[in-house]
C-alpha cells in the first residue's frame, strides 16, 4: 500500500490511479475559501421578530419557557421596536394579550384594542419598521380557540353542528372586521394564522373594499396542529380551554394536503406564504417555495426556540451555533424570510 502510493507519487501509476481528481476538500481548508463558496447566508433583512404586547402596566413580564422573551407593555414595545429597526431588522410580528377576553374575542376588532393601540404607537417611533399583525382570535377568546365556537345558548348556535365546533364563516366575518381595524391603525401586512377556510379571500375582499388594497397578506398557509406551540400558549395565555386545534390546523403527517392549502391561499390572493413550524416541515417549505414562486416565510416557533435554549442552558449543545445551524437550514430549504425569536440575537451574532 505504502509502496503503491510512493510509486504513484513518482508519476509511474498516474493513468491507472483509481483516486478521483475531484477533491471537494480543496474548497474547505481555510475560512476564506469557505466564505467564498458559501451558498446560503443569513442577513438581518431575512428576519422578522415576534413581539408579545399585553394590556397591563408591567413593562416586561418574563415568559418562563422562552428565556429572553417578554410580554411587553405598549410603552415598552415601542422602545423595543425602535431598537429592532435600528438593528436593521425590517419587520416585527405582533401578538396581543388583551385585558379582557370574551366569547368572540372583541378586543381584536376594537379600535382601542391592544393591537391597534400598539400599531399606532410603533408607527410614531419607527415609521420604517414593517408591522405584521398576526390575525387570529385565540389570544382574545375566553375559550382559547381561533374563532367563534358553536356553544349552547349562543345567538349563532347551530343545532346540527357539534358543540365546540369552530364556526367557519362566522369567524371569517370577525377576521374581516379585525383586519380592517388593524390596517386602519397602520399595519403593513395582515397575517391570518387560524387555518380557517377562506380566510385569505375574506380578508383580501374586506381590505380592498375599505381602501386597503395596498395592505399585504402573509398567510400562515401551512400551519400544522403542532405540539411545538406549547411555550407560545403560555406566553399568550391562549391554550384552548377544551379540546385541541386539530379541527382546523393541519395534520402534520400530510404533505400533499399542505400543497393544497398553499394553492388555495395563492388563489385567494395571498402575497406571502408561510410554513409553520419550520424545522419539522423543511420538505414542505422546499416544495411550496418551488411550486408557487411567491415569497415564502418560515416560522421557527416557540418550541423550537425553547428546546435550543433548554439544551444550551444544560451545556449539552452550543446554543448559538445550533441556533445558526437551524436558521441556515431553514433558509437553505427555501425560506425567503424567517420569523424567529432569535432575530435580535442573530444580528448581534452576525456582528
Ligand atoms: C395564533 C398563533 C399561534 C402561534 C402563532 N400564531 C398559536 C397557536 O396556533 O396555537 C404559535 C407561535 C409559536 O409557537 O411561536 N393562532
The pLDDT tens digits for 283-295 are: 999 999 999 999 9
Mutate to test the pocket of ligand 1, among 223, 232, 279 (most ligand atoms within 8 A of CB): 232
Catalytic residue status for 276: yes
Catalytic residue status for 344: no
Ligand 1 pocket residue status of 233, Cβ below 6 Å: yes
CB 103 within 8 A of CB 142: yes
Q: What is the pTM of this model?
A: 0.94
Per-residue pLDDT of the chain in tens (351 residues, 90 and over written 9): 445 555 445 555 556 668 899 999 999 999 999 999 999 999 999 999 999 999 999 999 999 999 999 999 999 999 999 999 999 999 999 999 999 999 999 999 999 999 999 999 999 999 999 999 999 999 999 999 999 999 998 888 999 999 999 999 999 999 999 999 999 999 999 999 999 999 999 999 999 999 999 999 999 999 999 999 999 999 998 999 999 999 999 999 999 999 999 999 999 999 999 999 999 999 999 999 999 999 999 999 999 999 999 999 999 999 999 999 999 999 999 999 999 999 999 999 999
Grid coordinates of 253: 403527517
Ligand 1 pocket residue status of 98, Cβ below 6 Å: no
What distance in angstroms lies between residue 73's CA and the mean position of ligand 1's atoms? 20
What distance in angstroms lies between residue 29's CA and the mean position of ligand 1's atoms? 42
Grid coordinates of 81: 421596536
For ligand 1, atom 14: residue with the closest CA: 229
* Nearest atom within ligand 1 for CA of residue 305: 15
Ligand 1 pocket residue status of 108, Cβ below 6 Å: no
What distance in angstroms lies between residue 25's CA and the mean position of ligand 1's atoms? 42
Give me the residues paired with residue 149 across strands. Answer: 166
What distance in angstroms lies between residue 232's CA and the mean position of ligand 1's atoms? 6
Ligand 1 pocket residue status of 194, Cβ below 6 Å: yes
What distance in angstroms lies between residue 52's CA and the mean position of ligand 1's atoms? 11
Ligand 1 pocket residue status of 301, Cβ below 6 Å: yes
For ligand 1, atom 11: residue with the closest CA: 229
For ligand 1, atom 10: residue with the closest CA: 229
Report how far apart, in Å, the C-alpha atoms of 293 and of each of 37, 204, 263 are: 25, 20, 11
Cβ-based neighbours of 72, under 8 Å, separated by 6 or more: 51, 52, 53, 54, 59, 60, 61, 80
Mutate to test the pocket of ligand 1, among 144, 229, 241, 301 (most ligand atoms within 8 A of CB): 229
Amino acid at each position: 500500500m505504502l509502496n503503491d502510493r510512493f510509486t504513484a507519487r513518482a508519476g509511474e501509476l498516474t493513468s491507472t490511479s483509481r483516486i478521483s481528481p475531484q477533491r471537494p476538500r480543496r474548497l474547505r481548508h481555510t475560512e476564506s475559501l469557505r466564505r467564498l463558496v458559501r451558498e446560503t447566508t443569513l442577513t438581518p433583512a431575512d428576519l422578522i421578530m415576534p413581539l408579545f404586547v399585553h394590556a397591563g402596566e408591567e413593562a416586561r413580564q418574563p415568559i418562563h419557557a422562552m428565556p429572553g422573551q417578554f410580554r411587553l407593555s405598549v410603552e415598552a414595545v415601542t422602545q423595543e421596536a425602535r431598537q429592532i429597526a435600528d438593528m436593521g431588522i425590517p419587520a416585527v410580528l405582533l401578538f396581543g394579550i388583551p385585558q379582557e377576553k370574551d366569547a368572540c374575542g372583541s378586543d381584536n376588532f376594537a379600535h382601542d384594542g391592544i393591537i391597534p393601540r400598539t400599531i399606532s404607537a410603533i408607527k410614531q417611533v419607527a415609521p420604517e419598521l414593517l408591522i405584521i399583525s398576526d390575525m387570529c382570535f385565540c389570544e382574545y377568546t375566553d375559550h382559547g380557540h381561533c374563532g367563534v365556537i358553536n356553544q349552547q345558548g349562543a345567538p349563532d348556535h347551530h343545532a346540527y353542528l357539534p358543540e365546540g365546533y369552530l364556526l367557519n364563516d362566522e369567524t371569517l366575518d370577525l377576521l374581516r372586521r379585525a383586519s380592517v381595524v388593524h390596517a386602519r391603525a397602520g399595519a403593513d401586512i395582515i397575517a391570518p394564522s387560524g387555518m380557517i377556510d377562506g380566510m385569505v379571500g375574506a380578508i383580501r375582499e374586506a381590505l380592498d373594499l375599505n381602501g386597503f388594497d395596498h395592505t399585504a397578506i402573509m398567510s400562515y398557509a401551512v400551519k400544522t396542529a403542532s405540539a411545538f406551540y406549547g411555550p407560545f400558549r403560555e406566553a399568550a395565555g391562549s391554550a384552548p380551554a377544551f379540546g385541541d386545534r386539530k379541527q382546523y390546523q393541519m395534520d402534520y403527517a400530510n404533505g400533499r394536503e399542505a400543497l393544497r392549502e398553499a394553492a388555495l391561499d395563492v388563489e385567494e390572493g395571498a402575497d406571502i406564504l408561510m410554513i409553520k413550524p419550520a424545522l419539522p416541515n423543511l420538505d414542505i417549505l422546499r416544495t411550496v417555495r418551488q411550486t408557487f414562486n411567491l415569497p415564502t416565510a418560515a416560522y421557527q416557533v416557540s418550541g423550537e426556540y425553547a428546546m435550543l435554549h433548554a439544551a444550551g442552558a444544560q451545556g449539552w449543545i452550543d446554543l448559538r451555533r445550533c441556533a445558526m445551524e437551524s436558521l441556515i437550514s431553514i433558509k437553505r430549504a427555501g425560506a425567503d424570510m424567517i420569523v424567529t425569536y432569535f432575530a435580535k440575537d442573530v444580528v448581534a451574532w452576525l456582528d
